[in-house]
């Protein structure tokens, strides 16, 4: 399971961090998001999916 934030699509809306702070952190300088998890449990996958659904730019990619 791989989750990543497309850097050129993310614009720093921060909704992913609001929805799933356990998966997405925000860069200090501009609030753009990045993934902090490497081992995804079923709960973390669900959290990532919720965050992906609420991203206005649809910047989050989830792939097996």
Partner 1 sequence: MAEKVVVEFDQHSKEYQARGMEIGAEIRSKCPVAWSENYGGYWIITGLEEASAIYKRPELFSALNLTWQDPDSMYKGIQIPNNAAYGENSFLEMDPPEQLQYRRALNSHLSPASVVRWEPFAREFTNACIDEIIENGEGDFVEDVVNIVPAVLTMAMIGFPMADWVIFCEPTHANVYTPANSPDRERVNQISMEMGMRTMTLIAEARATPRPGMLKDLIDAEIAGAPLSDARIAGQLGLVMGGGFDTTTALTSNVFRYLFENPSDKKRLLAMDEALWATATEEFLRFFSPSQGDARTAIEDCEVLGYQFKKGERVLPSFSISNRDPKFFENPDDLDIERFPNRHAAFGLGNHRCIGSNLARMNFRTMLQETLKRIPEYEIDLAGVERYETIGIINGNKTMPFTFPKGPKTGPGLQATIEKWQKILDDEAASAS
Draw the binding track, 16-45, toward partner 1 (x: CB under 8 A; -: no contact).
-xxx------xxxxxx--------------
Residue placing its CB nearer to partner 1 in the complex, 29 or 39: 29
CA distances from 12 to 16, 33, 34 (A): 9, 7, 10
What CA–CA distances, in Å, run from 2 to 28, 29, 30, 56, 60? 24, 25, 24, 20, 10
Q: Output 34 or 54, the one with its CB closest to partner 1.
A: 54
**CB-nearer residue toward partner 1: 2 or 27:** 27
């Amino acid at each position: 399971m791989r989750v990543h934030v497309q850097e050129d699509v993310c614009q720093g809306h921060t909704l992913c961090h609001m929805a799933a702070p356990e998966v997405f952190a925000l860069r200090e300088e501009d609030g753009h998001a990045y993934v902090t998890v490497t081992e995804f449990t079923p709960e973390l996958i669900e959290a990532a999916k919720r965050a992906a659904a609420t991203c206005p730019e649809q910047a989050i990619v989830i792939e097996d």
